[in-house]
Amino acid sequence: MTSTGIGAVFDSAATQYAEVSPLLWNRIGEATAATAAIRAGERVLDVCCGAGASAVPAARAAGPHGHVDAVDLAAGLLAHGRHRAAAEGLRNVRFVQADATTWQDQPYDVVQCVHGVFFLPDMDASVTRLAGLLRPGGRLVVTTWARGALVDFGRLFVEAVEHVRRARVAPPASGQAASRIDGEEELHAWLAARGLAGVTVTRFALRIPLDAALAWRVVLGSGFRGMLAGLEEPAVERVRAAFARLLRERDVTELDATSLIGAGTRPWAG
């Protein structure tokens, strides 16, 4: 999927994304910002920022003398982020509709990305470039799904979509990229290969009680929504019904949203 296509998917998901944020995205974003250990006065770049799940806590930590650039392609999500920041009285964060792969401003003390690197066109080259926007000694923090997270949920959703489409559904390229860094050792090695020093990886365990209504909001408020593209409303409703039935029959009652948070430092020259 192109960058434009990804932005369109998350634009359409903006309302449901915001609805599930308190249970899902905000909790992961808070954990990421805490791992980044942002200090007062620091400059932060939040890539694939969504509705501000990690950008808002970063802005709180950076304080009035710090600054956060929150970048995403989805205008609808950015609007939610601006509203949330305004509600908290945060004036040190700006939400910008832009392509992270061409973002030029620098240097930053922290660059962070929560569940977004696997959507970038070339994950390796893009994140190496982002690391280059750090000042020497600056920190790059990347959050990705842990191995096994969302697997049962995603498998049943794909089964429901295939039942309605009556055809096999190709797995998204983002899932293949994410699987490369879904273990502690793999994420550690991948960040080190981006030229970072002192790499650490932390597991953030998160399991959310799940019913059919919440499961559908997660679908509509995440990248899973893209698998509904091209379906008319009656077909989408059949997918929803089939998904609810499968969740009930397979006794899936929680969402495993466990994440890995990897962090490393740009070395000082020489």
Q: Average pLDDT, stretch 169-185?
A: 87
Q: Does 190 fall in a domain?
A: yes
d(CA 169, CA 159): 9
Q: Does 231 fall in a domain?
A: no
Could you tell me which residues come within 8 angstroms of residue 231 by beta carbon, excluding any fewer than 6 positions away? Answer: 164, 165, 239
Burial class (CB in 10 A: 0-12, 13-18, 19+), 128: middle
- For 68, what's the count of Cα atoms within 13 Å in the CB-facing half-sphere? 34
Q: Does 156 fall in a domain?
A: no
In the chain, where does DSSP find H-type helix? 3-12, 14-20, 25-36, 55-62, 75-87, 123-131, 151-165, 173-179, 184-193, 212-220, 233-249
Q: Does 29 fall in a domain?
A: yes
Q: Average pLDDT, stretch 55-59?
A: 98
Q: What is the pLDDT of residue 1?
A: 44
pLDDT in tens, 179-208: 999 999 999 999 999 999 999 999 999 999
Domain of residue 21, CATH code: 3.40.50.150
Number of domains in the chain: 1
Under 8 Å between Cβ of 62 and 90? no
Nearest to 36 by CA among 200, 253, 210: 200
Q: Does 13 fall in a domain?
A: yes
Q: Does 230 fall in a domain?
A: no
Q: Does 42 fall in a domain?
A: yes
Q: What is the pLDDT of residue 15?
A: 75
Under the banding of pLDDT at 50, 70 and 90, the label for residue 20 is confident
Burial class (CB in 10 A: 0-12, 13-18, 19+), 13: buried
Range of the domain at 108: 3-149+172-209+257-265
CB atoms within 10 A of CB 40: 10
Bridge partners, 189 (sequence order): none
Task: Bin 35: left if φ > 0, else alpha if -120 < ψ < 50, else beta.
Answer: alpha
Q: What's the pTM value of the predicted model, to 2 decimals?
A: 0.92
pLDDT at 269 over 90: no
Q: Which two tokens stand for residue 242?
A: 């089939």
Under 8 Å between Cβ of 141 and 219? no
d(CA 108, CA 235): 46
